[in-house]
Amino acid sequence: MSYAALCDHGVACGCGSKSVATLRRKEALSDLAEKHRGFFFSLLPVTSAAFAKAEEVFGRVDVLFFNTPSAKDQRTFKVFSQKLEAKLGADVMFGSMPTPHVTQHIMSTALILGATGATGRQLLRELLSSNEWSKVGEYGRRVTPEADLPQNRGKLEQKTIDFENLEAAGLKDGRWDVVFVTLGTTRAQAGSAELFEKIDREYVVNACKAAKTNDPAHQQRVVYLSSSGVNPSSPFLYLRSKGLTELAIAGLGYSDPIVFRPALFKGTQRAGTRLVETMLGYVTGAASHFTSNAEIHVAVLAKAMMKAGILGSSGLPPAAGATKAGQEASWFTLIGNKGALFLGQE
């Protein structure tokens, strides 16, 4: 997210990798640049032309902060900002500038891959109902039918894509701040082991790679839904594929890869629930009274994933039990079922 900050006394920052600051004191720029490494600061006059230039350089202006103590200046800027808000689609906020510590978790755009699955459907609803996101993209082999979408879908961008031709999908064009991945399948659904690995790993990894921008200053986060018990060296196809997918995504260069390994899903609402799943549901339902590693409702899991996408690894509370996992050049933050339950019910 880009910030245009209008300040009297030189306290300005952004929560993403880009920031536009309009300051009254030119000497404050060097102090800010030294204090907040990774942010870009510019001295701009309060004019439409200045913000047009800011939009050109930084891609967009999402939020305007204005904290002058003068009531007269505030009234003047309010008129100006209304015109700017209509032109750029930016939000205008008055008050003190936030610090990086406070605003670090804020993101503006989210992409979800696999929104038609059990967890993906819930996650899409969470993203659309949250004020954290200015734009939500749903890209996949198929997208949610309009009749199944919630009323608050104004910020939704849907696109059917061909995973065999991701170059034509334009995944990079959205400059997504957080990429959520709930895409996956089973061997039975895929029809063969080869097709399973193609869909469950190749499509997932390639799509994440295609969604990563080429801008080194754009800090992107990826949140991947895996499974409990995965291991890249497992003799079992499903667990091995998920484990290899985790490592592959973590090695793509995202600034903050986060992986969820939940237990058995509850509330999937499949049209034809399988007998084995029903029997396991009874078992895990009983076991959930004694352990937090037995099951999780997909609605709770979706909330947990969105919260992790907002907070990022550094902002996760200790109770989430997040740990560092992976291997050299493919490290990621791991959240188990207990942590997902905590985040989704907090």
Residue 57 has pLDDT above 70, yes or no: no
Q: pLDDT tens, 105-126?
A: 344 799 999 999 999 999 999 9
224 tagged catalytic: no
pLDDT band per the 50, 70, 90 thresholds, residue 344: very high
Listed in sequence order, the DSSP H helices in 260-314 are 275-287, 298-311
Closest CA to 269 of 90, 154, 91, 122: 122
The catalytically annotated residue of 18, 135, 212, 242 is: 242
DSSP per residue, 204-253: HHHHHHHHS-S-TT---EEEEE--TT--TT-SSHHHHHHHHHHHHHHTT-
In our burial notation (b when 16+ CB lie closer than 10 A, e otherwise), range 277-306 reads eeeebeebeebbeeebbbbbbbbbbbbbbb
Strand order in the sheet with 330-336: 156-160, 135-140, 109-113, 178-181, 221-225, 256-261, 330-336, 323-327
Residue 54 has pLDDT above 70, yes or no: no
User: Please, what is the angle between helix 337-345 and helix 298-311, to 10°?
Assistant: 80
Q: pLDDT tens, 140-175?
A: 999 999 999 988 888 999 999 999 999 999 999 999
Q: pLDDT tens, 168-213?
A: 999 999 999 999 999 988 899 999 999 999 999 999 999 999 999 9
Residue 99 has pLDDT above 70, yes or no: no
pLDDT band per the 50, 70, 90 thresholds, residue 22: very low
Mean pLDDT of the chain: 76
CA–CA separation, 105 and 107 (whole Å): 6
CA–CA separation, 70 and 6 (whole Å): 13
Question: Cα 78 to the chain's mean position, in Å?
Answer: 31
Q: Are 256 and 219 in contact (CB under 8 A)?
A: yes
Q: What is the pLDDT of residue 96?
A: 40
Burial of 160 (C-beta count, 10 Å sphere; 0-12/13-18/19+): exposed
pLDDT band per the 50, 70, 90 thresholds, residue 15: very low
The catalytically annotated residue of 203, 238, 254, 307 is: 238
Q: What is the pLDDT of residue 2?
A: 40
pLDDT band per the 50, 70, 90 thresholds, residue 332: very high
Q: pLDDT tens, 208-257?
A: 999 999 998 899 999 999 999 999 999 999 999 999 999 999 999 999 99
Task: Name the residue type at position 68.
Answer: T
Burial of 329 (C-beta count, 10 Å sphere; 0-12/13-18/19+): exposed
Q: What is the pLDDT of residue 152?
A: 81
Closest CA to 199 of 230, 145, 162, 174: 162
Q: What is the pLDDT of residue 323?
A: 97
Q: What is the pLDDT of residue 75?
A: 60
Residue 304 has pLDDT above 80, yes or no: yes
Give mean pLDDT, residues 306-317: 94
338 tagged catalytic: no
